[in-house]
Structure 1
Amino acid sequence: MDTEPPPPHVLIFPFPAQGHVNSMLKLTELLLEASLNITFLISAKDHDRLARFTTVHSHLTRYLGRFRFHVIHGLYEGPMDTDEKLSVMIADSLPKVAVPLLRDLLVDSHVTCLIVDGIMGFPIDVAKGTGVPVIFFRTISACALWAYFSVPGLINSGDLPFQGTNLDERIVSLEGMEAFLRRRDLPSFCRSDLNNQTLQQVIGVSRRTTEAHALLLNTFDELEGPIVSQIQKHCPNIYTIGPLHAHLKARTLSKLTSSNSLFEEDKTCITWLDQKAPKSVLYVSFGSLVTVTREQLMEFWHGLVNSGKPFLWVIRDDLVLKHDDENKVPYELEEGTKKRGYMVGWVPQEDVLAHPAVGAFLTHNGWNSTLESIVEGVPMISWPYFADQQINSRFVEAVWKLGLDMKDTCDRKIIEKTIKVVMEDRKMEFIESADRMARLAKETVNEGGSSYGNLNRLVEDIKMMGVGSK
């Protein structure tokens, strides 16, 4: 008597950082909903923080033994708030620990396919000879990936390294972005010399995308279709399946999802927001990795208070670089914050952005934050920090018309003026544009939408891999 074969077994391996783990856990649950089995590789530090601050463990037990975490011990667990620290993690700590672990798992665990964070290239080498297809998942935008991929061409054209100091000079040799891209909009490591470790690493791993069986992108065709088409010339098998958090909510009838946060969320902010008028509050968060100097903190604080707008501001414990002993806060800032501000260590960001009181988002434009703002129709004020954030912020302003970009400035008067432009002078213009994009984002993850269809295609393709390996 024939027995039904077991479901395909997918090994998922994210880079150990908040934005990467969050989005790849969303993907995990979507694949679990499609009846696949999942093993999720996670660092000991991230596994512990998920257990402390979320319900993800109990949430995923409802998949009846088809999901498990495999904890990785021995990884570097310090800050990753610069390009250089990220490079060391990618090039040194991760391969040393993960290569032997991956090799054992691919041989002994009957893995159908490996979905790996595309910021890491070494899993491609580990999988060679095992017969296990490797799918790259890039947790950044398509526009950032295309910029990364195009760096060798920018070097050949003479656009890199920069000659002179004019960051507003146009970059006309990056196909698909000729009309609006400036030097300052390229990823942060492009401002270094060509021997910079991060730059060389990004070139290498981005080009390795072509070696993967397929490429997954947390985006949707209506948002980044023209740029996806550029990437597709080099990586023909692409699945655009985002926005993942919206896709998961659309596919999960219970609407119960886990926050996947590696930080403890202060939900008292929702009660504070409940007392505010619709679209009156500026939400401020620079994500999980950005750090600022005390001087920058003061400029932002003055700009927020002087704007006259109510503001909800996420101040992580490690947000401010500790290099001086001056902690005195000016009286006018204390009083302005008491009247209009609310400061917390971390928030349930999806809930905050969905709150009717939030009228704009002052953001670093990490990709998860950008997508979450897009889905909820919240205009953005961009202050990018590093890596992909520079190019995301340019698309927010110049292409999608969803807000204004303040990159490379940190001046209280500019901050105040930009807030007033987005929340007063051009308020309706940005709201209308954001509402239009939010509708498209929701349509794409529902039946008949492009991301909906692409996810179905991905699941069927993984199931065929399982059949082929029998």
Structure 2
Amino acid sequence: MIRMERSHVNPHVVLLPYPLQGHIKPMMSLAELLGSANFQVTFVNTNHNHDLLLRNTDITSFCNRFPNFQFRSIPSGLPANVIRSGLTAKDVFDAMKAMSKPAFRDLLISLGEETEQRQRPTCVIADGILCFLTLDVSEELQIPLLALRTHNASYSWIYFHLPKLIEDGHIPFLDENMDKPVAGIPGFENFLRNRDLPGTCRVKTSDDDYLLQFFIGETFAMTRASALILNTFEIEAPVVSLLGSHFTKIYTIGPLHKLRKSRMKDINSPSVSSSGILQKEDTSCMTWLNSQPPKSVLYVSFGSLVGLTREQMSELWHGLVNSGQRFLLVVRPDLILGEPGAGATPLAQNKGTEERNRFIVSWAPQEEVLAHPAVGGFLTHGGWNSTLEGIVAGVPMICWPQFSDQFVNSRCVSEVWKIGFDMKDTCDGSIIEKLVRDLMENKREEIMGSTDRVATMAHDAVNEGGSSYRNLDGLIEDIRLMARKI
């Protein structure tokens, strides 16, 4: 009798993203997909991001669409008044280890008190770099843990091989030849250079570098999870196959933002959905785009976290202007390093820019911008969310990576998928000018063939019958099986 009752219980999934917008956004897409499958969903943010998310979401409409969805929060351990952009990753990890871990444990225990409205947690889906916070707790409470890696498959595969590169003396780099080929990473022998390795590898002493060792530890810790979920698709199929040597089960369900739209066509209005946006969007740029010729505008954005020096900003500006191309530029208030609020300075140049074929905003609705017929190119930092959004929109890219996985992504964009150009370790307006002209005019025809092909692969993956569509069905069914065993 009990088994019959349990077979009809809707699973309850608890999701915990790393507290940055680029991690929250894909996690929220997955949460909405699970909510649309009638799962009970608890989405857990830090208090700071919880407040920002609720401020930018129509909660009434959202909860009407997802009646089994609830937002909860835990402390990050950081002071409420601290400027987040000035923190190091070590600051965040240390604070979360001290305060977020016990708070998350207490939250899971409270959620485990089953009520008529909500079941006990069936499983936890946590960011792959939060294993230090979630693994011990989930094992203690006997709740299965699934790791969602918000970076691509290539990035994780490379991290599994960094200990050997350190052991062999390849890291830290002993010489200044950043173009030296990297050996010892299966599947990457022919195109990876020192400068393409993750940003944490650019250290003077590997033993003393906290982040390098921390991320290596988190990568191997992910193998203790019940499964790995990846926001990727067939373009990384060979690497996903290689990762199978470390994980018993892998679900590739990307691009998540497009899969969400494919599966949930009735909630594409922002008023009844949340894409994890923590900043207010300026939609005035859409009106400007409506007045531009097809494929004539270069969209320029460096995401929610990257900062540029004053020199880099100057070179970027002159390169864009001298290219003679129309452009839409996103300048966050904290974009210029060490100068809070300096982003307002370039914004002042926006007056009358309609006549000068350029437009500047502090934050843009990126998915809508990239999908606009007027947009023909994307100058990006090369973060994985932005890369996927460019791929889905069929827009070729110039990648100017600054840290983390961006170095790996940009090399894949240029040398593996051949859908753009890699501009890493460059700060030269004349190079920016040339690459913009190449992307928008001179080499456009040769690059659009592969860009269109990869975009088609992405759309096929998320449409009914596609690999990501099927893999999400598999994930949903496997979580239902977990619920029946509780």
- TM-score band, normalised by shorter chain: over 0.9
CA shift, 1:8, in A, is 1.0
Q: Which runs of 4+ in 1 moved over 6 A?
A: 324-329, 331-337
Is the CA contact (8 Å cut-off) linking 1:80 and 1:289 kept in structure 2? no
Asked if residue 145 in structure 1 is aligned to residue 156 in structure 2, the reply is yes
Is the CA contact (8 Å cut-off) linking 2:50 and 2:72 kept in structure 1? no
Is the CA contact (8 Å cut-off) linking 1:311 and 1:342 kept in structure 2? yes
TM-score between both structures, scaled by the size of structure 1: 0.94
TM-score between both structures, scaled by the size of structure 2: 0.91
CA shift, 1:98, in A, is 1.9
Q: 1:426 to 1:57 in 2, by over 3 A?
A: farther
Asked if residue 111 in structure 1 is aligned to residue 124 in structure 2, the reply is no
Is the CA contact (8 Å cut-off) linking 2:75 and 2:103 kept in structure 1? no
Identity, % of aligned pairs? 47
Distance in 2 of aligned mates of 1:105 and 1:455: 27
CA shift, 1:129, in A, is 2.8
- Structure 2 matches for 1:55-454, cutoff 5 A? 55=58, 58-64=61-67, 66-76=68-78, 78=82, 85-90=88-93, 92-109=94-111, 110-122=120-132, 123-192=134-203, 193-194=205-206, 195-220=208-233, 222-256=234-268, 257-322=273-338, 339-454=356-471
Q: 1:454 to 1:74 in 2, by over 3 A?
A: closer
Is the CA contact (8 Å cut-off) linking 1:56 and 1:259 kept in structure 2? no
Is the CA contact (8 Å cut-off) linking 1:302 and 1:333 kept in structure 2? no
Distance in 2 of aligned mates of 1:325 and 1:111: 43
- 1:88-137 Cα deviation digits (max 9, x unpaired): 212x1112222222222333322110111011122101122322111111
Q: 1:99 to 1:328 in 2, by over 3 A?
A: closer
2:9 to 3, 6, 22: 6
Q: 1:427 to 1:74 in 2, by over 3 A?
A: closer
Write the letter of the residue equivalent to 2:57. T
Is the CA contact (8 Å cut-off) linking 2:350 and 2:360 kept in structure 1? no
Distance in 2 of aligned mates of 1:394 and 1:325: 32
Is the CA contact (8 Å cut-off) linking 1:50 and 1:56 kept in structure 2? no
Write the letter of the residue equivalent to 2:361. V
Distance in 2 of aligned mates of 1:105 and 1:362: 41
Distance in 2 of aligned mates of 1:409 and 1:334: 29
Distance in 2 of aligned mates of 1:145 and 1:239: 14
Q: 1:309 to 1:351 in 2, by over 3 A?
A: same
Q: 1:118 to 1:410 in 2, by over 3 A?
A: same
Write the letter of the residue equivalent to 2:123. C
> Unpaired runs of 5+ in structure 1?
none
Distance in 2 of aligned mates of 1:277 and 1:291: 31
Write the letter of the residue equivalent to 1:113. C
2:73 counterpart SS class:
strand
Distance in 1 of aligned mates of 2:305 and 2:173: 27
CA shift, 1:340, in A, is 1.6
Distance in 2 of aligned mates of 1:301 and 1:347: 18
CA shift, 1:354, in A, is 0.2
Is the CA contact (8 Å cut-off) linking 1:239 and 1:458 kept in structure 2? yes
Q: 1:209 to 1:188 in 2, by over 3 A?
A: same
Write the letter of the residue equivalent to 2:177. N
CA shift, 1:328, in A, is 8.3
CA shift, 1:277, in A, is 0.7
1:339 counterpart SS class:
coil
1:342 counterpart SS class:
strand
Q: 1:252 to 1:333 in 2, by over 3 A?
A: closer
Q: 1:56 to 1:288 in 2, by over 3 A?
A: farther
Distance in 2 of aligned mates of 1:104 and 1:335: 54
Distance in 1 of aligned mates of 2:32 and 2:390: 21
Q: 1:413 to 1:335 in 2, by over 3 A?
A: farther
Distance in 1 of aligned mates of 2:345 and 2:372: 33
Which is further off, 49-58 or 128-137? 49-58
2:359 counterpart SS class:
strand
- 1:370-405 Cα deviation digits (max 9, x unpaired): 000000100000001111110000000000001000
Write the letter of the residue equivalent to 1:114. V
Distance in 2 of aligned mates of 1:147 and 1:280: 37
Q: 1:56 to 1:446 in 2, by over 3 A?
A: farther
Is the CA contact (8 Å cut-off) linking 2:308 and 2:337 kept in structure 1? yes
Is the CA contact (8 Å cut-off) linking 1:152 and 1:203 kept in structure 2? yes
- Structure 2 matches for 1:454-465, cutoff 5 A? 454-465=471-482
1:371 counterpart SS class:
helix
Which is further off, 426-435 or 200-209? 426-435
Write the letter of the residue equivalent to 2:157. W
- 1:428-466 Cα deviation digits (max 9, x unpaired): 122221111111101111121111111111111111111
Write the letter of the residue equivalent to 2:185. L
Is the CA contact (8 Å cut-off) linking 2:9 and 2:484 kept in structure 1? no
Write the letter of the residue equivalent to 2:101. V
CA shift, 1:154, in A, is 1.5
Q: 1:453 to 1:130 in 2, by over 3 A?
A: same
Aligned twin of 2:115:
none
Write the letter of the residue equivalent to 2:416. V
1:137 counterpart SS class:
strand
2:140 counterpart SS class:
coil
Is the CA contact (8 Å cut-off) linking 1:56 and 1:260 kept in structure 2? no
Distance in 2 of aligned mates of 1:338 and 1:324: 29
Distance in 2 of aligned mates of 1:105 and 1:365: 35
Distance in 2 of aligned mates of 1:353 and 1:332: 23
